[in-house]
């Protein structure tokens, strides 16, 4: 039993910081369902792969998570995604504001599907402001600071 037992999280995150958030939620007992594009997430193959074809990064940030392959901007994928949203408590993503898929996972859209949904959006430069649509990684943020 964990502190977050009974909480379902849809994890649409990529790269490192946001998947780490999902990992922590899963470690605390949340049911975390990682949604990946067909072909799998890039972090499955970033760096040296083990005999099973997966990287240590993927094994760490993917621990305690379930995975589903889904293209949420296709009609069939959107329908499945909306069903998952109806049954979830939190949607976690790190799409840059203005990215084509960002509108699909916006709070404004998802609250129409599930009025109690929580959307946690992590982006390099925030959701608003002159740099909001710029992608960011840790090194970029450090250089800007």
Would you say how long the chain is, in residues?
A: 145
Tokens of 99: 């990215």
Query: Has residue 3 been placed in a domain?
Result: no
Model confidence pLDDT, tens digit, residues 85-114: 999 999 999 888 888 888 889 999 999 999
Residue 119 pLDDT class (50, 70, 90 cuts): very high
Spatial contact of 44 and 17, defined as CB atoms under 8 Å apart: no
Which residues, 6 or more positions from 74, have their beta carbon under 8 angstroms from its beta carbon?
Answer: none
Model confidence pLDDT, tens digit, residues 42-58: 777 888 888 888 888 88
Domain count, the chain: 1
CATH number at residue 63: 3.40.50.10540
Ramachandran category for residue 138: left, alpha or beta (phi over 0 → left; psi -120 to 50 → alpha): alpha
Model confidence pLDDT, tens digit, residues 127-137: 778 876 777 76
Question: What is the C-alpha separation between 66 and 123, in angstroms, rounded?
Answer: 23
Whether pLDDT at 29 is above 80: yes
Query: Has residue 1 been placed in a domain?
Result: no
């Amino acid at each position: 039993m964990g502190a977050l037992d009974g909480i379902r999280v849809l994890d649409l995150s990529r790269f490192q910081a946001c998947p780490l958030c999902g990992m922590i939620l899963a470690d605390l007992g949340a049911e975390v369902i990682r949604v990946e594009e067909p072909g799998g997430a890039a972090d499955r193959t970033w760096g040296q792969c083990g005999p099973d074809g997966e990287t240590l990064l993927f094994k760490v940030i993917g621990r305690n998570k379930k995975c589903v392959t889904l293209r949420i901007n296709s009609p069939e994928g959107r329908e499945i995604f909306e069903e998952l949203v109806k049954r979830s408590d939190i949607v976690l993503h790190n799409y840059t504001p203005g990215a084509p898929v960002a509108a699909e996972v916006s709070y404004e859209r998802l609250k129409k599907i599930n009025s109690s949904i929580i959307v946690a959006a992590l982006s390099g430069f925030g959701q608003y402001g002159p740099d909001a649509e710029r992608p960011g990684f840790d090194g970029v943020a450090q250089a800007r600071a």
